[in-house]
Amino acid sequence: MIITLVDDTDLSVPGKGQQVRTYELYSRVARKAEVRLVTQGASHPERLAWASELRVVRPLPGRAAAWVGGISSLARNNGGYQRL
């Protein structure tokens, strides 16, 4: 089974609170399924080794991101993705 997870934070940087809970949840899911992670940043991609595929999406600047819908409006194809 393949699951695509979309997150708008940099999960590769240690955080606290909700970010830690999200990281733990995603890494547990990766034990049961192949996880494709789509995120807006990955400063330390080696810390996301549990993701079988990592895609970093560069958000549009300012109002353009709000108008287009930000990371939640990604196209189904690879348009806009930058593969690491």
Q: What confidence score (pLDDT) does residue 59 get? A: 67
Q: DSSP readout, 1-52? A: -EEEEEESS-TTS---THHHHHHHHHHHHHHHSEEEEEES--S-GGGGTT-S
pTM recorded for the entire structure:
0.66
Cβ contact 33:53 at 8 Å: no
pLDDT of residue 35: 93
How far is it, in rounded angstroms, from Cα 50 to Cα 57?
A: 19
pLDDT in tens, 14-50: 778 888 888 899 999 999 999 999 888 888 999 999 9
Q: Write down the domain spans for the chain.
A: 2-77
Say if CB 29 and CB 35 are below 8 A apart: yes
